Amino acid sequence: MERDVRGGRIAARAGDKPKSIKDCKHDKIRGDGGTACDVRAHKPLISSTASGSRHLSRGHIVLFRNAASIRLKIDATLIGEDLLITLVGGKKHVGAVALGGFATRSYASVLAVPNHRDDVIAKEAAWRISEQLRQSCVVVVGIHIDHASEGQIAELVDASHLLVDELIEALK
């Protein structure tokens, strides 16, 4: 079975059984023990896009983008009608958590670990996602490069915004 999915290409064959998460070296995206792999070829099911790899699964999307010598990963999971989103890169951690929602207008609030700047990205992402998709979301951000320059920080912030935009478009 082959079909296009928003610029990516699924190459799964009927009858393929996913490997277990611990056996696969590709990014794991399913909570049911499956992976995003074509078992026979051991390749990702959805090919790379111009901006980075894209993996899709039922109720789950993972997008990647390279910036400032690290790989950023945004991972969104549908929880009922709401979204749980993580945006990580470099030395992964939880630097900030933001809650975004939409009532008559979009809103966002954030909690941050002291001395981290992840809160700016988390709050803006939560606000933009809830504004565009008209649904509640939790955004967890943890991006870190040791001794990052101002240029690297700017590049990471820009890449984070692009990943959020790509996620919004994929979820519309």
What is the average pLDDT across 5-10? Answer: 34
Where residue 159 sits, what CATH number does that domain have? Answer: 3.30.230.100
Q: Do 5 and 65 fall within a single domain?
A: no
Read off the pLDDT of residues 96-147 as tens digits, 9 standing for 90 and up.
999 999 988 999 999 999 999 999 999 999 999 999 999 999 999 999 999 9
Q: Residue 163 pLDDT > 90, yes or no? A: yes
Out of 38, 54, 70, pick the residue that ends a domain: 54
Confidence tier at 56 by pLDDT (50, 70, 90):
low
Q: Do 49 and 124 fall within a single domain?
A: no
Q: Do 22 and 97 fall within a single domain?
A: no
Q: Do 50 and 65 fall within a single domain?
A: no
Q: Do 82 and 140 fall within a single domain?
A: yes
| Higher per-residue confidence, 25 vs 87 | 87
What is the average pLDDT across 74-79? Answer: 94
**Domain that includes residue 30, residue range:** 1-54
Token representation of residue 86: 């993580």
Token representation of residue 146: 């040791």
Read off the pLDDT of residues 115-128 as tens digits, 9 standing for 90 and up.
999 999 999 999 99
Within 13 Å, how many C-alpha atoms sit on residue 154's CB side? 3
Provide the domain count of the chain.
2
Q: Do 29 and 79 fall within a single domain?
A: no
CA distance 16 to 14: 6
